[in-house]
Amino acid sequence: MARVAGVSQSTVSIVLAGKAEGRVKPETGRAVREAAESLGYRPNVAARNLRLGRTRTVLLVVPTLASPFFGAVYTGAARDAAERGFGVVVHPWPDDANPARSPVDIEAIDGVLASSIAGGVAGLGDVPLVVMDSDPADPAPAVNFDVTGGMRAITAHLAELGHRRFGHLAAAVDAWTFRVRGEVLAEAGPLIRRTTAIDVAAARAAALDLLDRPDRPSVLVCDDDLIAAGAYKAARTLGLDVPGDLSVTGFDDILVATAVEPELTTVRLPAEELGAQAMTALLECLDGHHPPGVSLAGELIVRGSTAPPANG
Amino acid sequence: MARVAGVSQSTVSIVLAGKAEGRVKPETGRAVREAAESLGYRPNVAARNLRLGRTRTVLLVVPTLASPFFGAVYTGAARDAAERGFGVVVHPWPDDANPARSPVDIEAIDGVLASSIAGGVAGLGDVPLVVMDSDPADPAPAVNFDVTGGMRAITAHLAELGHRRFGHLAAAVDAWTFRVRGEVLAEAGPLIRRTTAIDVAAARAAALDLLDRPDRPSVLVCDDDLIAAGAYKAARTLGLDVPGDLSVTGFDDILVATAVEPELTTVRLPAEELGAQAMTALLECLDGHHPPGVSLAGELIVRGSTAPPANG
DNA sequence: TTGTAAGCGTTATCAC
DNA sequence: GTGATAACGCTTACAA
C-alpha cells in the first residue's frame, strides 16, 4: 500500500495495529494514518487471517433465519464476542440452496456456535464447536435450556387449574428439545397427540383434528408459540373461546406470544443468555480449556390463554 | 498437508479442485482423495482467499435478525448465489455490540448486499455493493419495492370501502421505505398520524392515542404488520371490533399477518425475489457490469381486517 | 503425468 | 525508531 505514501511496510502495520506506542515517532504515525485515510486503504483480511492463523471470527450456525428466536441468540453471542474482540457472522444450515457445502468452508473462522440443529452437527467439520439447544449426548460442549423444568412448570400450572388430560401439538421436527417436551408431557398424565410443522396453517389443521371430536381435551399444549397461534385459529373456527372453552400453552415466548389475543401462556426461554453463555464457552475452548455444559432455566409466563376447564 | 500422504503439493491442489481430468492419473487422484479423507484435511480458506484474491463469498447486511422478513431475503439471495458457486453470510449492522467495526472488516468477502439500512450505507467501506429496500438516491445499484404502488393499492381499497379519513401508525424509523409510505398516504386524503417503534406494545399505545377520541378514524393504516398487531390490541382494549368498528391494514405480509385474528389485510412484499434480484445485480457488478436499478411490485392481500366504516 | 517455484498481503523477528 | 526479511498455505504457470 502506502509504502508509496510515506515510509515503509512494517511501520504501517505497526501503526495501524495500534502498537505504535513508543516504537514509532508520533509524527510518522500521523503521516501513516493520513496516507491510509486518503487512499481509503483497508488491510487485506485474507492476508491477515493467513498470517495470524486466526480470524477472530466465529460462525453462528442456525437452522433458519425466519424465526426471531435466533436473532436473540445472535444478540447474546455477539455481545459476548465483542468484549473479546471477536466478530460473529451467521449462516443457516443445512442449506436448501447448497446442501453439500459445509458452512465452515465458506469462511475462514476460528470456531462455530450451532443452535438447534435438528440433524446433528456431524458434517460441519472439525472446528472448535459449542452446540446450543441440542442433544446433550453430543460430544461437543453444550449450552441448553432446562426444557424438562419448563415443561413441568406448564403441566403443574395446568394441573393446578384442574386440567386432567392434555392435547399435545408436537412439532414434527426430530430435535432433542422437542423429544424432551413430548416425554415430560407424557409423564404428566394421559394425552392425545398430533404432530405438525412449525407453521400456523399446519398447526391449525392438526389442532382441528384434535378438537373436532366428542372427547376433546380441555387444553392444547403446544411445542412452540407459533403452533399455539394455529391452535387459536382452530378454536375460533370451532367457535371455542380461549381460554373459556379451551386453554392453550406455547413454548419459547417469541414475539407472536404477545401479538395474539388473548396473550399466550408460555415458557420464556432466555435466548440471549443462551447465545452469550455459548460464546463464552466457545472462547474458553479456543483458549484450550474444556468448559462444562450449562443448563438455563426457563420461566413460566402466565398470560391470558389458560383458565380452569369449562366443565370443572 | 498430504505431501506426506502420498505425493506432492500441486497435485493435491489440482485433484481437490476437481481439475484432475486428463492431468493426473486416476490412480493418483484416488490416492490423494483417500489421504485427504483419512487425515480429515480441509484446505485453508484464508490461504485460498489470499492467493485467489477473491472469496466467492458475499456478505448480507441487515438491520436485525429479529424479523422473519430478512430470512426471506436471505433465502432468495442464497439461492441465486449458490447457482454461481457463491456463499452468503449474514451480519446485522449497525451493531450495538460493536458500533465502530465495519462488517466488511470482519470477513474476507467479494461484495455486500445491504437491506433496509436506515442510516444509509456510508461507513461500510468501498466494496462492491448493492442496496435493497433503500433510498434510490443512494449511489449504489438498488433493488427496491414499489412502495408507492403498494400504498396506493391500500388507499384505493380503503377508499372503495368508503373510508374517507385515515389514521396512520407510522414507524419511527428514518428509512426511505417508511417516508414513502407516509407521503403516499398523505396524498390520498386527510389523516391523523402517530409514530411508534416497530413493536407490539409501543404500537398499541400509539394506537390508543389515535383511537381514544371523539373523532377517531375509521381505519388504521399501519406501516408494518407488527404495528398492526398493536393496533388490534388497542381496538380490543377499547372494545372496538375489527373490522366492524375499525379497519386495520398492515404492510409486508410477514408471518404475524396470518397469526392474528382476523387475518390482516396487507401488502405482500416479495422478499425472496428482492434478495434474488439483488444478488443477481451484485454478481453483475463483480463481473464489471453496471446493472440497472429494479423495482418490484407488491401485491395487495385483502383478508379479514378491512370492511366498510360503521357509520357509512 | 508430476514436481518446482513464485507470489498473494500481512505480521513478527531482528538487524540497523 | 525504522526497514529488511521470512513465513503463513494455497494456486498456477512452467519445467521436468
Task: Name the one residue in this structure whose C-alpha cell is 393504516.
Answer: B221
Other Cβ atoms within 10 Å of B89 Cβ, number: 26
SS3 (DSSP) at B191: strand
Q: Distance from residue B53 (CA) to nucleotide C2 (C1'), in Å? A: 26
Task: Name the one residue in this structure whose C-alpha cell is 469462511.
Answer: A107
Among protein residues, the one whose C-alpha sits closest to the C1' atom of C4 is B10
Mean predicted confidence (pLDDT) in B129-142: 93
pLDDT at B170: 98
Mean predicted confidence (pLDDT) in A205-218: 96
Torsion of CA B240, B241, B246, B249, to 10 degrees: 120
Contacts of A70 in chain B (CB under 8 A): 65
Q: Distance from residue A37 (CA) to nucleotide C5 (C1'), in Å? A: 36
> At A90, which amino acid appears?
V
Q: Let me know if the fold of B53-142 is the same as that of B147-269.
A: yes
Torsion of CA A86, A88, A93, A98, to 10 degrees: -100
Mean predicted confidence (pLDDT) in A222-245: 97
CA–CA gap between residue A141 and residue A130 (Å, rounded): 5
CB contact under 8 A, B68 and A68: yes
Taking CA–CA distances from B102, the nearest residue in chain A reads A87
Contacts of B88 in chain A (CB under 8 A): 91
pLDDT digits 0-9 by tens, B48-61: 999 999 999 999 99
Cis preceding linkage at A43, omega within 30: no
pLDDT above 80: residue B7: no
Q: Which of A75, A107, A256 sits opposite B45 (nearest CB)?
A: A107
CB of A265 closer than 8 Å to CB of A303: yes
Q: Distance from residue B138 (CA) to nucleotide C8 (C1'), in Å? A: 33
Considering only CA atoms, which of A93, A13, A56, A62 is closest in space to residue B46?
A: A56
CB contact under 8 A, A107 and B108: yes
Taking CA–CA distances from A105, the nearest residue in chain B reads B45
The answer to whether strand D lies under 7 Å from the CB of residue A25 is: yes
Among protein residues, the one whose C-alpha sits closest to the C1' atom of C7 is B51
CB contact under 8 A, B71 and A65: yes
What are the DSSP calls for chain A, one per residue? -TTSSSS-HHHHHHHHTT--TTTS-HHHHHHHHHHHHHHT----HHHHHHHHS--SEEEEEES-SSSHHHHHHHHHHHHHHHHTT-EEEEEESS-TT-SSS-GGGTS--SEEEEES-TT-STTS-SS-EEEESS-TTSSS-EEEE-HHHHHHHHHHHHHHHT--SEEEEEES---HHHHHHHHHHHHTS-EEEEEE-SSHHHHHHHHHHHHSSTT--SEEEESSHHHHHHHHHHHHHTT--TTTT-EEE-SB--THHHHSSSPPBEEE--HHHHHHHHHHHHHHHHTT--PPPEEE--EEE--TT----TT-
Nearest nt to the CA of B48 via C1' is D10
Nearest nt to the CA of A8 via C1' is D3
Among protein residues, the one whose C-alpha sits closest to the C1' atom of D6 is A51
CATH architecture for the domain at A53-142: 3-Layer(aba) Sandwich (3.40)
Encode B236-269 in three state secondary structure.
HHCCCCCCCCCEEECCECCCHHHHCCCCCEEEEC
How high does pLDDT run on average in chain A? 94
SS3 (DSSP) at B277: helix
Q: How confident is the model at residue A97 (pLDDT cuts 50, 70, 90)?
A: confident
pLDDT at B1: 64
Taking CA–CA distances from B229, the nearest residue in chain A reads A259
Taking CA–CA distances from A59, the nearest residue in chain B reads B89
pLDDT at B137: 87
Contacts of B78 in chain A (CB under 8 A): 92, 95, 97-98
Nearest nt to the CA of A44 via C1' is C9
pLDDT digits 0-9 by tens, B280-297: 999 999 999 999 999 999
CA–CA gap between residue A171 and residue A221 (Å, rounded): 11
Other Cβ atoms within 10 Å of B115 Cβ, number: 24
Nearest CA distance, A273 vs chain B (angstrom) = 15
The answer to whether strand D lies under 7 Å from the CB of residue B1 is: yes
Please identify residues in chain B, positions 47-86, with a C-beta within 7 angstroms of any atom of strand D: 47-48, 50-52
A254's grid cell: 417469541
Nearest CA distance, A275 vs chain B (angstrom) = 13
Q: Which of B49, B74, B95 sits opposite A78 (nearest CB)?
A: B95
Q: How confident is the model at residue B312 (pLDDT cuts 50, 70, 90)?
A: very low
Among protein residues, the one whose C-alpha sits closest to the C1' atom of D12 is B10
pLDDT digits 0-9 by tens, A249-304: 999 999 999 999 999 999 999 999 999 999 999 999 999 999 999 999 999 999 99
Q: How confident is the model at residue A96 (pLDDT cuts 50, 70, 90)?
A: confident
A286's grid cell: 479456543
Q: Comparing B139 with B144, which gets the higher pLDDT?
A: B144
Among protein residues, the one whose C-alpha sits closest to the C1' atom of D5 is A10
Q: Distance from residue A44 (CA) to nucleotide D6 (C1'), in Å? A: 19
CB contact under 8 A, A65 and B70: yes
pLDDT at A184: 98
Nearest nt to the CA of B23 via C1' is C1
pLDDT at B3: 60
pLDDT at A5: 65
For chain B, give every domain's residue range.
2-43, 53-142, 147-269
pLDDT at B99: 83
Nearest nt to the CA of B9 via C1' is C3
pLDDT digits 0-9 by tens, B186-222: 999 999 999 999 999 999 999 999 999 999 999 999 9
Among protein residues, the one whose C-alpha sits closest to the C1' atom of C9 is A47
Q: How confident is the model at residue A4 (pLDDT cuts 50, 70, 90)?
A: low
pLDDT at B92: 97
DSSP letter at B133 equals: S
CA–CA gap between residue A64 and residue A96 (Å, rounded): 11
CB of A89 closer than 8 Å to CB of B90: yes
Q: List chain D nucleotides near protein: any atom < 7 Å from a Cβ.
A: 1-5, 7-13
Nearest nt to the CA of A49 via C1' is C10
CB of B97 closer than 8 Å to CB of B297: no
CB of A249 closer than 8 Å to CB of A260: no
Taking CA–CA distances from A66, the nearest residue in chain B reads B68
Considering only CA atoms, which of B13, B2, B72, B9 is closest in space to residue B39?
A: B2
Considering only CA atoms, which of B213, B231, B236, B206 is closest in space to residue B221?
A: B231
CA–CA gap between residue A250 and residue A260 (Å, rounded): 12
pLDDT at B151: 98
pLDDT above 80: residue B2: no
A298's grid cell: 426457563
Q: In angstroms, how far is CA B284 from the centroid of its own chain?
A: 20
In this structure, of A23-27, A199-203, B173-177, the range with the lowest mean pLDDT score is A23-27
Kindly report the CATH number that applies to the domain delimited by B147-269.
3.40.50.2300
CB of B234 closer than 8 Å to CB of B204: yes
CB of A131 closer than 8 Å to CB of A281: no
Q: How confident is the model at residue B20 (pLDDT cuts 50, 70, 90)?
A: confident
pLDDT digits 0-9 by tens, A178-190: 999 999 999 999 9
SS3 (DSSP) at B85: coil
Taking CA–CA distances from A126, the nearest residue in chain B reads B40
Q: How confident is the model at residue A2 (pLDDT cuts 50, 70, 90)?
A: low
Q: Comparing A18 with B279, which gets the higher pLDDT?
A: B279
Q: Comparing B6 with A111, which gets the higher pLDDT?
A: A111
pLDDT above 50: residue A131: yes
Strand ranges (DSSP E) for chain B? Answer: 57-62, 87-92, 111-115, 129-132, 142-145, 166-171, 191-196, 219-222, 247-249, 266-268, 294-296, 299-301
Encode B9-47 in three state secondary structure.
HHHHHHHHCCCCCCCCCHHHHHHHHHHHHHHCCCCCHHH
Nearest CA distance, A187 vs chain B (angstrom) = 31
Cis preceding linkage at A128, omega within 30: no
Interface probe with B: pick from A106, A224, A240, A279, most Cβ of B within 10 Å? A106
